[in-house]
Chains A and B, each alone.
Chain A
Amino acid sequence: MSQPLGFPLLSVLIFLPALWAVGVALLPRERHDLIRAVALLGTLAVFGLSLWLWFAFRPEVPGFQFAEQTPWVAGLGISYHVGVDGISLPLVVLTTLLTLLAVLSSWKAIQEEVKTYMVLMLLLETGMLGVFLALDLFLFYVFWESSLIPMALVIGRWGGERRIYAAIKFLLFTLAGSVLMLVAAIVLYLWGGNTSDLPQLLHTLPGRLPFALQAWLFIAFALAFAVKVPLFPLHTWLPAAHVEAPTAGSVILAGVLLKMGAYGYLRFCIPLFPDVLPYAVPWLSILALIGILYGALVALAQEDIKSLVAYSSVAHMGFIILGIFALNPPAMAGAVLQMVNHGLSTGGLFLLVGVLYERLHTRQMRDFGGLWARVPIFGSFFILTALSSAGLPGTNGFVGEFTILLGTFQVNTTYAALATFGIVLAAWYLLTAVRRTLFGPLALTDGRLSDMNAREVVVMLPIVLLFFLIGLFPNLFFERINPAVEALTSPAVVSVTYGEVE
């Protein structure tokens, strides 16, 4: 089932933003509103395309759909190979949606070098979509790296006071990880019979790689992804980057870039190195658990609300990793869904913090307090988003966390119990944030504080609607995710890793 539309949908999806970026680059520099409008139109078009992909995707068909393959570096057996399955599909839609919202949210926040900014956002979108759709190791690597640079530039140019520090830290962390990945990719390429094509590798590799080599390759890949996720203790770039990045940057960073790490585990680590899993899973699970509890506790101690949300990301991503490495369908499908959920709820939180920052020019929670009386619309959105993030039933967060924990409970009761305790802590720090921001006596002495305007409401509305859509009808997602996840959790792998599970 390749190209049922007779039209390279995925390639168009991936490269439309880049082409659009070229178009934006040709616009006159000082026509800010025109640039914004054109960029918005571009992201809207890409989002439309991704929705088309969503509905054209056939859940009942296993494997990759809409695959396209043409030789790229033919002499080396590297091809341009893209395809979409139930794991990447939700992430693609998430990416296009969040980019759209990010562009819309930076309408007023970005006033300098608007053109460069929009061009970078569009290029970033191409990179991110490419990561999720690439089926060739080197293609994946190219997109992986190319998504890194625009992000670092966005942080470094439009960020807060310590933006340069944050951007460099972000860049170095990720680069250090991805260099390892490149080396591992080359080794895989050589051992896999001079091919970097993922489906082909999955065919040829089993039984070929000696165990020790598998272990090293796994470590290399896992480190690259662990930096991106980020797993404890490789997470310290995240708060720095999040705090300093402009709002849209934080949204994309938390919403999409972190998912690239988790996606990498699903796409590469698990299928390529099944023999290593029994040894690696406990380590990764424990790191994920530490992330959950540690991230939550550290979030509790933050004064800067963006920092708090950043550490909450560490905790939430811990759930996702835990779910992935429970290696059973509920947990893994829950993890994939939770990636979307986290993108929405944490993205939403960052957007809301951005709303506040644009008005008050502070992120310190001690400067807030009692705001709900002044900005009721903001307050309602904030509470709703915080509760979604805390996993309130009826919203998306609950479904993801529940399935992850239930699946984890199947394989390891202790992990599940500790992670469940993380939910208690999540309630603690999120409600503390709500308490200190919205509740209590009004701390503001300045008289001017306007509620969210129509544009900001439009930005938040799709997110909130998705909270409930996913919360009430998660099967819309699960029916697409399930087949892909079930292919990854073949009983053989699981029983080797966890022993016989009844």
Chain B
Amino acid sequence: MSGVPTAWFLLLGAILFTIGAVGVLVRRNVLIVLMCVELMLNAVNLTFVALGRELNSLTGQVFVFFVIVVAAVEVAVGLAILVELNRLRQTADVDEVSELKG
């Protein structure tokens, strides 16, 4: 079972990360953008765990633990913002929002 080389996991992580990243960039629905962010985070988690195993270190898993914490918070706050955005603008389209500038 543990015969799967770490490299495959890393590669998988990279693929998932890329899909997530592209999703963040191309999708306009805030909800889906947030989901894609989760995808990216998960891809990184996978990488951490895989490397942790490769190097016989628990640090990878500890890191994943914290990432999950951050991700949970991020989702909570992000979704709250989405809800508020939807109330103010009746939209969930990131392209409709361009106030974040000087």
A–B proximity contact (CB within 8 A): no
Residues of A within 8 A of B (CB): none
Q: Interface residues, chain B, CB within 8 Å of chain A?
A: none
